[in-house]
Structure 1
Amino acid sequence: MASSLNLTTLSLTLPIPHPHPHPHPRPSSSIRLPRGSLQLPQFNKVRKALKLSSSQTISAFPSFASKALPAFSPAPLTLQSPTVFAAKGYKMKTHKASAKRFRVTGRGKIVRRRAGKQHLLAKKNTKRKLRLSKMMA
């Protein structure tokens, strides 16, 4: 059975932990592989059919990833809302409050709006609106 098995060598750059000593003795004709290599059996198309069950992979040889490599779980990523940082002398309550008090200029500078800019300007005259619309550096 072992003599009719074709072997493929796959070289990986990942460090693979050495498995525990194999309970069966190795044949003397086995090939020694360099450290960091992995030897996988090719599946025989003539003898074995594809196994399409949920517990095995879609190939004739069992999955080596679950046995040889440790399982990695990705760290949960938490998305944070954008934060406006500026030299301010008080604590911002919300992001919306920061957006109302500060504005980014065309050059990328963060400047504070002048007082009254964020309030309703319907009852103010044109001269006062113009003065309030200018920004304070």
Structure 2
Amino acid sequence: MASSLLFTSFSPPSSLPILSSIKTHLSPSPISLSIKPTNSNLSSSRSLSGFPLTLPKSLTLTPSASRTPPKIAVFAAKGYKMKTHKASAKRFRVTGKGKIVRRRAGKQHLLAKKNTKRKLRLSKMIGVDKSDYDNVIGALPYLKVNRKAT
């Protein structure tokens, strides 16, 4: 059975291949077209023109490839890298014997009222107390420290 369409004014777009293949003439009077589908029974997977709405085989996607990404196994041999606390790395040093040393506080400003002996004492490095070793080593995991050095 042929279906007929009625258009008052018609200009076929170039993107639709079915309309460009139909022989039409433009006139001010109404145009009557008759399109015969290839199958008489139209389903939801077919368009009104009778051509199937499927992609070519080169463009079809497999459901497994489009839904799940490929699985990649990641293994760490020694575990995770620990991060060095950069502010602590600038404040602490290790001596040749493996002791942790730091600067003394109080040598940054207001130096006019401090005598020379006091400023000289504040300039020297001093060893970190043993009770603070765990905190410093936690902040600096790759510091080569001798815990038995006194």
Asked if Structure 1 and Structure 2 have the same fold, meaning a TM-score greater than 0.5 normalized by the shorter chain, the answer is no
Greater relative contact order structure (CA < 8 Å, 6+ sep): 2
Q: Quick check: which has more Rg, 1 or 2?
A: 2
TM (norm. structure 2) is 0.27
Instruction: Give the structure with the larger helix fraction.
Output: 2
